[in-house]
């Protein structure tokens, strides 16, 4: 009888454990117990036009740095320059050649003017000599010699004009070379693509920069937004225009308010804000953008908590 009582107690204990385990398995996910009128999402403060990674148009050694991290820059303002000694020498050579070429053209034109004057005089003398020949006051040989001189001057005049054309073409070739050299020099000057803030200058004085490598992170001027991810369990509850309170991550401190302005049309893997190796990569999320009230406390790339109100 005593053994039967012990067996019954064991059976009762096992039954109670199984019931508790069943309740645990059938319990709803913790996320589903959120406020039904509120969706919580984790996001980052970012520029509305996205953070740009500026690529080096050409490789070389950094010669001078004009702007540092956090500096405001205007469009086309120089951020840094690479060593450009060879390009500068090339420019000087081309400009010197162009000056020489212009001098040659000017000499050719002066020669043309001189030949043209001589030709006019010889033609006038030829007409006068012709009349004298007709009257028998001058020999035919003198007239023929003048005809030859006029023809030679006309040939020289045409030759001079052709020479000017050729010299001008050569000058145009040098001008093209100059523009090409100036473009090569301009590539050594890394400029801001627009007005904004230089977030990170990755190249310092004396360092090597590879062509097409990112040398700086840049935030174009404009409004800041929050880019966030919403768990797939609540993705269908999102709607444009929903209001949101933006808090410092890990606290209830309100830093600004905002409104939902963009909703991704598809779900993707949770990855944007994952920093832990044990994050569930198979959980899907919907990316959103929230326009926020601007203030000086917003820091680009800082993580925030977004409390999105599904009901007004």
**pLDDT at site 18:** 55
Q: Which helix (H) or strand (E) holds 139?
A: none
pLDDT digits 0-9 by tens, 61-113: 999 999 999 899 999 999 999 999 999 999 999 999 999 999 999 999 999 99
CA distances from 23 to 11, 20, 27, 29 (A): 19, 5, 6, 12
Residue 25's CB: how many other CB atoms inside 10 A? 7
Rounded CA gap, 274 and 230, in Å? 13
Rounded CA gap, 231 and 227, in Å? 14
Examine the pLDDT at 279 and tell me if it is beyond 70. no
What integer is the mean pLDDT of 21-26? 45
For 41, phi then psi, to 5°, come to -135, 150
pLDDT digits 0-9 by tens, 285-296: 999 999 998 777
Rounded CA gap, 154 and 118, in Å? 10
Rounded CA gap, 187 and 183, in Å? 6
**pLDDT at site 28:** 38
Strands 72-73 and 243-248, bridge-based pairing: unpaired
**pLDDT at site 27:** 36
Rounded CA gap, 253 and 154, in Å? 94
Residue 51's CB: how many other CB atoms inside 10 A? 17
Asked whether the whole model's pTM tops 0.75, one would answer no
Q: Is 61 helix (H, G, I), strand (E, B) or coil?
A: strand
Within 13 Å and on the Cβ side, how many CA atoms surround 276? 3
Q: Which residue has the tokens 């509850």?
A: 237
- Positive or negative torsion for Cα 90, 95, 98, 99: negative
Query: Sorting pLDDT into bands at 50, 70 and 90, what band is 32?
Result: very low
For the chain, the straight-line distance linking the first and the last C-alpha, in angstroms and rounded, comes to: 68
Within 13 Å and on the Cβ side, how many CA atoms surround 245? 13
pLDDT digits 0-9 by tens, 297-312: 788 888 999 999 987 6
**pLDDT at site 196:** 92
Supply the mean pLDDT for the chain. 84
- CATH number for domain 52-82+189-220, candidates 2.40.30.170, 3.30.110.40, 3.40.50.2000, 2.40.50.100: 2.40.50.100
Strands 268-269 and 254-263, bridge-based pairing: unpaired
> What topology does CATH give the domain 29-48+223-309?
Elongation Factor Tu (Ef-tu); domain 3 (2.40.30)
Check if the beta carbon of residue 214 is closer than 8 Å to that of residue 232: no
Examine the pLDDT at 8 and tell me if it is beyond 50. no
């Amino acid at each position: 009888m005593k053994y039967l009582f012990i067996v019954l107690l064991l059976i009762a204990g096992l039954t109670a454990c199984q019931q508790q385990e069943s309740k645990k398995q059938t319990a709803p996910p913790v996320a589903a117990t959120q406020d039904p009128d509120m969706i919580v999402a984790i996001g980052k403060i970012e520029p509305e036009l996205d953070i740009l990674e500026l690529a080096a148009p050409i490789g070389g050694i950094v010669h001078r740095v004009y702007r540092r991290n956090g500096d405001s820059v205007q469009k086309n303002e120089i951020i840094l320059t690479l060593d450009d000694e060879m390009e500068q020498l090339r420019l000087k050579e081309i400009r010197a050649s162009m000056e020489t070429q212009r001098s040659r053209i000017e000499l050719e034109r002066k020669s043309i003017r001189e030949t043209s004057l001589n030709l006019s005089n010889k033609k006038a003398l030829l007409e006068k000599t012709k009349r004298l020949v007709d009257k028998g006051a001058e020999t035919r040989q003198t007239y023929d010699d003048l005809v030859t001189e006029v023809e030679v001057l006309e040939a020289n005049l045409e030759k001079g004009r052709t020479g000017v054309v050729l010299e001008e073409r050569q000058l145009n070739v040098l001008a093209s070379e100059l523009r090409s050299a100036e473009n090569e020099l301009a590539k050594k000057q890394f400029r801001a693509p627009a007005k904004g803030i230089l977030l990170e200058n990755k190249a310092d004085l004396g360092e090597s920069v590879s062509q097409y490598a990112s040398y700086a992170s840049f935030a174009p001027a404009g409004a800041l937004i929050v880019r966030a991810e919403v768990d797939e369990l609540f993705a269908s509850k999102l709607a444009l225009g929903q209001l949101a309170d933006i808090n410092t991550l890990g606290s209830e401190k309100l830093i600004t308010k905002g409104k939902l302005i963009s909703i991704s049309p598809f779900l993707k893997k949770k990855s944007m804000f994952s920093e832990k190796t044990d994050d569930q990569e198979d959980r899907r999320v919907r990316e959103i953008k929230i326009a926020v009230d601007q203030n000086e406390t917003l820091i680009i790339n800082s993580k925030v908590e977004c409390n999105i109100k599904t009901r007004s």
